[in-house]
Amino acid sequence: MDNGDKSWMNLLRWTDEYIRGVNDFLDKAFERAAQGNEILCPCKKCMNRYWHYRNVVEDHLVFHGFVDGYAKWVFNGEGFSSRNTPHPSNGDECSTICGDIDGLLHDTFRNIEGQVGDEKGVGERLSEDAKKFFKLLEEGKQELYPGCKNFSKLSFTIRLYLLKSFHGLSNVAFSDLLELIKEAFPFAQKMSKTNTENRNRLKCPHTAGRTPFSLIREAEMERIQST
């Protein structure tokens, strides 16, 4: 998928030219970046956080329009020369964004930190959200294995999710990959066995079950819009 002429994105959304542009976008996005029968929806409401079927994405783009500033369709296959070709810069983006795990967690659980500050010395009364915050914060500081400088336990898990998305791995394939990693490397024995277990472990209750992975996408969207 290449840049091409995207001036149609600024047209009135009920015009024939805009709708043709949307359908051309969908053809390319589903060819390059689909997981099963879904792609990330780049409408103003979903902001590339939620996966939907083609008819749903089309409706969203006609009713709501594209998210502001989404000039390069990085989450929908732009830059991919084939279905199996990774995004040329995803490694750098992953490393940059995953590097600030502490900042990501503090932003995600900002309300929880306030609650903890008001309840000094009462650890037994901490909410489940607060306990999850401290657990993830601790994992963000722990080396993936003794001597590892490139990954913490948490950043490695998040990086796996980014690879899953960019390369279009199915849940079954991703779970098999986790099992292989567990068999091959001693440090991975405590990793969850399946994609579902890992997602549940990373869910953030006060953000409607969203994961740090989805928040990373939001951070990347903000970076794209500011450039």
> pTM of the prediction?
0.42
Q: Is there a single domain that holds both residue 78 and residue 172? A: no
Q: Is there a single domain that holds both residue 12 and residue 72? A: yes
Q: Is there a single domain that holds both residue 163 and residue 98? A: yes
| CA 50 from centre of chain | 9
Q: Is there a single domain that holds both residue 102 and residue 214? A: yes
Alpha helices (runs of H) in 73-202, residue ranges in sequence order? 90-98, 101-108, 110-118, 128-141, 153-167, 171-184, 195-202
| CA 63 from centre of chain | 24
Number of domains in the chain: 2
SS3 assignment, position 151: coil
Q: Is there a single domain that holds both residue 59 and residue 118? A: no
Q: Is there a single domain that holds both residue 97 and residue 19? A: no
Instruction: Give the residue from 85, 105, 128 where a domain finishes.
Output: 85
DSSP character for 40?
E
Tens-of-pLDDT digits for all 227 residues of the chain?
A: 445 789 999 999 999 999 999 999 999 999 888 888 999 899 999 888 888 999 999 999 999 999 888 888 887 877 655 444 334 344 444 444 444 555 555 554 544 445 444 444 444 444 565 566 566 666 667 888 888 888 887 778 777 877 776 677 777 888 888 888 888 887 777 665 544 454 554 444 444 444 444 544 555 455 444 54
For 136, counting Cβ atoms within 10 Å of its Cβ (0-12 exposed, 13-18 middle, 19+ buried), the class is buried
Q: Is there a single domain that holds both residue 99 and residue 67? A: no
User: Buried b / exposed e across 46-71, counting CB within 10 Å, b at 16+?
Assistant: bbbbbbbebebbbebbeeebbbeebe
Q: Is there a single domain that holds both residue 104 and residue 173? A: yes
Q: Is there a single domain that holds both residue 60 and residue 96? A: no
* Domain ranges, residue 203: 90-226
Instruction: Give the residue from 39, 62, 85 where a domain finishes.
Output: 85
| Alpha-carbon distance values, 19 to 8, 10, 173, 209 (Å) | 9, 12, 35, 33
